[in-house]
Amino acid sequence: TDNEVLAKTARTASLRHSPGHWSLRPVLAEFADVTHGINCSILKISRQNNKVADKLAKMARQASIPTSCLFSCNALSHNLHCPVRDALANLQWDNFALIS
């Protein structure tokens, strides 16, 4: 993220000790819930270094996009069965599914 407050608060893993801005609390609470028991980290990336991702995120917010994405695996060893695709097929976030 290019949001330093978000990155710092997420790293503390406690909304009580570092609540951040009030508008971030729902995002941080959802992040804490989704990542509970998972080894992950949030890093602060400068906006300059994050320009492409920032532009794509802005375009996605403005576009009317479908609620699912397409995924294809090009690994030669996964001719018929791709464990990554199978895992992603079961992943859903609110009404958004990675693979439908």
DSSP state string for 5-63: HHHHHHHHT-TTT----GGGHHHHHHHHHHTTT---------TTTTHHHHHHHHHHHHS
Beta-sheet pairing, 96-99 with 92-93: antiparallel
Give residue 26's pLDDT: 81
Place of tokens 């270094």: 49
Between 31 and 94, the higher pLDDT residue: 31
pLDDT per residue as tens digits for the range 17-55: 665 667 777 877 787 788 778 777 777 888 788 888 778
Beta-carbon contacts of residue 55 (< 8 Å; ≥ 6 apart): none
Alpha carbon dihedral 15, 19, 21, 23, in 10-degree steps, equals 30
Q: Is the pTM of this model over 0.75?
A: no
- Tell me the CA distances in angstroms from 34 to 37, 57, 65, one per residue in order: 9, 21, 24
